[in-house]
A and B are shown apart, each in its own frame.
Chain A
Amino acid sequence: MSDNPFKKQSKNHFELLYDMLLDAIPSSVLMVDEKLHVVSVNRNFLLKSQRSNANTVGRPLSEVFPTVILENTGIEERIRNVFRSGSPVNGQKMTYRAPGVPIRIYYYSILPIPANQIMLLMEDVTEQVRLSEEVRRVERHLASVVESASDIVLSTDIEGRILTWNSAAEKLSGLSTHEVHGRYFFEFCDTAQKQPVRLIFMQMKNSNESHTTEFHLLTPNNGGSILISWVFSPMKDDYGQTVGTVVVGRDLAERRKLELQLRQSQKLTALGVMAGGIAHEIRNPLAVCSSAAQFLLEDNITAEFHKECSRKIQTNIQKASAIIENLLRFARSSLDTEMVEVDLNSVLKETIDLVTNQAKVQKIQVLLPMQKEYILVSGVSGLLQQVFMNIFLNAINAMPEGGVLRIVVDTFEDRVIVRVSDTGIGIPAGELDKIFDPFHTSSPVGQGTGLGLSICYSIIQQHLGSIQAESRYGEGATIIVTLPLL
């Protein structure tokens, strides 16, 4: 229409405004008469169709639109209908490809206007269509991520009623989405956990942090349950309000099996470390027994000396046997994982007895102030022994030139804190946060598996406790184990 409004002085004020308005809107607008000839057209249409005003205005629609569009949309017939009926056609879709331009998608409307014309409005929605397709694609992708995950992924409303339940959840629990939808998540938790789980959902309402825990998920269809490690995270809307909870759960059976194997292999490594001390310690009583037995073979010994020899033999056999028994107890794989009442003092004492030999060989003084009262925790005695065995052996290894291994046991409120300090070389600052990582080791190649402390970490975590290290390079190290008291 008009190229420069200031040059079109001949047009009246309203015509000018009308032209400007048509040119300004981001849609294509065509006026068509009853013979389906184009009467006028706005700038947007000329731009999109790459046509000039001269070869468009006054031309029949069949010349202005490509044949393919005319055939596919039947637009000419629709326009004739509008002329006939006088009622508009709204929101029809049309795809259009001008030569050398990527495909465009339009929504068009045909409106009857006075003076026996219709107005054809075409809005380019290519970008919107592309965006909504992108959104759908991302949605599909996200859904398939959740569905393909081997971990349980579920979401609940703010009260903890299940909204979504992925395939892994269906597979592990044996419950279909249909069976769980709308039911409280705690209904599917181990009896003892129902209340704690309700509390977690309450916390989620006002929390920004995830909550990690472990408990059994019921599998009612086979009457059992499976141990799962859970992470509860609050789901927030744009205003930071909690609108639900996302719960992710990992089946621990496989991990437990692996951990068991790791613990066992690590135990064998510890046994190797202790072998030297044990050899020394067992050969002493053996040597005493051997000599005493030979004295007994001699003639002319007094009755008193005879008795003394027998006594020495007996006590030394007991000594050797006690060392072997301790060793067996440690080496035996602790298959029982039942948490029972355990006296931490006796665990520490028994473990110290096992490493005393090694400590002695390395001229290390062991300080464990004896406590009279019991310190009761809920745990697996064999596993706790393995934890302290690892810590003690690490401490002993850190003191090749001798030193002091000090064990301090304190109770504080509802916790017991065991501090194991050595006077060895200490841990460099950079290593301190890595020492609980699996396969991190400061030992020369072939001498350490780097599994000891990572196993301690997982065992202590299983006991709902914590383990930390404090050290200054050159000034020894302290490992602090905290466990909840019974």
Chain B
Amino acid sequence: MEKVLLSSSPCHYFEAMNTPILIVDDEPDMCWAISHIIQSQGFNVITAYNGEDACFKLTHGDFSIVFLDAKLPDMDGLEVARRASTLLHERPRIVLVSGYHYHDDPVVRHAIVEGIICGFLAKPFTNKELLKTLHTLSQPIE
């Protein structure tokens, strides 16, 4: 089953291997697992445990990629992504990570078409799937 879903049309992004990656999930163990996979590739990682925290970090930090849980205690992941797309001039590439949605979920497809998120990763994922997503997104486009 295809679990990784990546947008074929590029999001606006700026190439920044050096900028940290934001991981948003209310489950600390989930952040721990994702952080480990990403850190193993030499990226820096910053975590946020809820939507407000994520929005604050997004507006005050400089992130190229965001792994974003779909269901946060205070707001939907997609709401965080929507705010990021309107608030930030330089939009990071956002991957929605969720156990709530499935890969061909109309909500997910719609968000990708809208350009609010760049990809979707279904929980539970293999470390390889996450790395594939990470590498695809960190490749410069054009």
Q: Are A290 and B125 in contact (CB under 8 A)?
A: yes
Interface-forming stretch among A62-70, A91-99, A156-164, A281-289? Answer: A281-289
Interface status of A291 (Cβ within 8 A of chain B):
yes
B1 part of interface (Cβ distance < 8 Å):
no
Interface membership of B100, Cβ < 8 A = yes
Whether B32 contacts A312 by the Cβ 8 Å rule is yes
B71 at the interface (CB under 8 A from A): yes
Does chain A have a CB within 8 A of B74? yes
A288 touches B100 (CB 8 A): no
B127 in contact with A284 (CB, 8 Å)? no
Contacts A283-B99, A361-B100; is A288 near B33 (CB within 8 Å)?
Answer: yes
Contact between chains at A291 and B127 (CB < 8 Å): yes
Report A16 CB to chain B, min CB distance, Å.
109
A292 located at the interface, meaning its Cβ lies under 8 Å from any Cβ of chain B in the complex: yes
B2 at the interface (CB under 8 A from A): no
A286's partner among B72, B124, B128 (CB-CB below 8 A) is: B124
Residues of the A chain whose Cβ atoms lie less than 8 Å from the Cβ of B142: none
Partner of A287, one of B30, B70, B71, B128: B30
Q: A280-B71, A290-B126, A291-B37 are in contact. Are A285 and B29 (CB under 8 A)?
A: yes
A292 touching B33, Cβ below 8 Å:
yes
Could you tell me if A279 and B99 are in contact, using CB atoms closer than 8 angstroms?
Answer: yes
Selected contact of A283 from candidates B29, B76, B124, CB within 8 Å: B124
Counting contact residues on chain B (CB < 8 A from A), the size range is 20 to 34
In the complex with contacts A294-B126, A312-B29, A287-B99 CB distance below 8 A: yes
Docked pose: A287 CA to B33 CA in angstroms? 8
Q: Do the beta carbons of A276 and B100 come within 8 Å of each other?
A: yes
Asked if B99 and A295 sit within 8 Å, CB to CB, the answer is no
Q: Given A279-B100, A312-B33, A316-B29, are A287 and B123 neighbors across the interface (CB < 8 Å)?
A: yes
- Smallest CB separation, B78 vs chain A (Å): 12
> How many A-B pairs with Cβ below 8 Å?
68
Select the residue from B27, B70, B99, B126 with max chain A CB neighbours within 10 A.
B99
Q: Are A315 and B99 in contact, with the CB atoms below 8 A?
A: no
Taking a contact as CB atoms under 8 Å apart, the answer to whether B32 and A288 are in contact is yes
Question: Is A360 an interface position by the 8 A CB rule?
Answer: yes
A363 contacts the other chain (CB 8 A): yes
At the interface, yes or no: B64 with Cβ under 8 Å from chain A? no
Contact partners of B32 in chain A: CB under 8 A: 288, 312
Kindly list chain A residues whose C-beta atoms are within 8 Å of the C-beta of B75.
363
Q: In the complex the two chains form, what is the Cα distance from A361 to B124 in whole Å? A: 18
Tell me if B126 and A284 are in contact (CB < 8 A): no
Whether B73 pairs with A288 at a CB distance below 8 angstroms is no
What separation, in Å, do the CA atoms of A312 and B33 have in the docked complex? 9
Which residues of A are interface residues toward B (Cβ below 8 A)? 276, 279-292, 294-295, 312, 315-316, 360-361, 363
List 30 contacting pairs A-B, 8 Å CB cutoff, sorted by A. A276-B100, A279-B99, A279-B100, A280-B71, A282-B99, A283-B99, A284-B29, A284-B30, A284-B123, A287-B123, A287-B124, A287-B125, A288-B29, A288-B32, A289-B124, A290-B126, A291-B33, A291-B37, A291-B127, A291-B130, A294-B126, A294-B127, A295-B127, A312-B29, A312-B33, A315-B29, A316-B29, A360-B26, A360-B71, A361-B100
Residues of B within 8 A of A (CB): 26-27, 29-30, 32-34, 36-37, 70-76, 98-100, 122-128, 130
